[in-house]
Amino acid sequence: MMTDSRIRNRAFDEMRKPALQRLEGKEPGMIEKNTGIPYDREKNVFSLKSLGKKIEIQYPCYEIRPELNEWHHLLLLHYLDMADGAEPEGEPMAFGDLPGGMARGGGFDRQSERTLSRELGNGNPAQVRKACGMLGGEIKPSNADLCAVFSVFPFYPLTLKLWFADEDIPGSGRMFLDKSAAHFLSVEDAVTAGTLLLEELIKEYRKLCQEGYTKRKD
C-alpha cells in the first residue's frame, strides 16, 4: 500500500512531466521577456525571488534550486510556460473576477477572508508585519491597517489588506490579484498561488508568536 508521501510524489511527477514538455524548445530570451525573470547566458540560469526565496532555474533542464514546495515548483513551471509579457496594471482584482473564475476564484475569496480574519486580523499587528517581511512583502500606503504586496513571480504580485481588530470590530482581511493576472496563470493556478501565500504567511506568523512566547517563558 502506498504511503501519503509516495502518492503526493507520484501526483507531483505526473503534473510536472507535461509542464516540462510544454517548455521544451522555448528560447530563453523569449522566456526572459515574457516572465521578467533575468537570464544569465553564461551560466544558463534564470534567477528570481519568489515569496522571499532566492531561486535559480537551470536551462534547458529546468532544474529548480533550492527545492521548493511541490505546488510552488509547479506554479513556477506554469508561469514560465504561460506568461505573455504583459506587465502588471497596478489595479487590484478579486480572484472571483478572473475570466471563468466565479466558482473557484469566488470560493477562494470567501475562504481566504474567513482565514485572514481568524488567523491574522485578530492577531498581533507587529508580528503580522514581520511575517509579511519574511516573505518579501512590501508594505504600501493604503486605506487598510496593513497593505503588503508580495512578488509570487516578477509580473505576478499578490496584495494583502488587513484591518486589525479593536474593542468593537473584529479583524478582517482580503487578498487581491493584479488585473493582468490572467496573462500569466490559470484560475486554478491563481487559487494555488493565493493558498500558498496564505499558508506560508500563517506559518511564519505562528512561528514568530511561538518564539515570542518561548522568550517570555525564559
Half-sphere exposure of 172 (CA within 13 A, CB side): 7
CB 181 within 8 A of CB 84: no
Residue 120 per-residue DSSP state: I
Domain membership flag for residue 99: yes
> What are the pLDDT digits (tens) for 50-101?
999 999 999 999 999 999 999 999 999 999 999 999 989 999 999 999 999 8
pTM: 0.92
What was the pLDDT predicted at 2?
Answer: 44
Residues 158, 103 within the same domain:
yes
Dihedral of CA atoms 11, 14, 19, 20 in degrees, nearest 10, equals 120
Q: Looking at the 3D structure of the chain, how many domains does it have?
A: 2
Residues 205, 157 within the same domain:
yes
Residues 69, 107 within the same domain:
no
Residues 52, 157 within the same domain:
no
Residues 44, 135 within the same domain:
no
Domain membership flag for residue 87: no
* 1, pLDDT greater than 50: no
Residue written as grid cell 481566504: 112
Query: Where on the phi/psi map is residue 90: left (φ > 0), alpha (ψ -120 to 50), or beta?
Result: left
Residue span of the structural domain in which 17 resides: 4-82
Residue type, 186: S
Cα 140 to chain centroid distance, Å, stands at 18
Looking at 82, 115, 133, the residue that finishes a domain is 82
Which residues have C-beta within 8 Å of that of residue 166, sequence separation ≥ 6? none
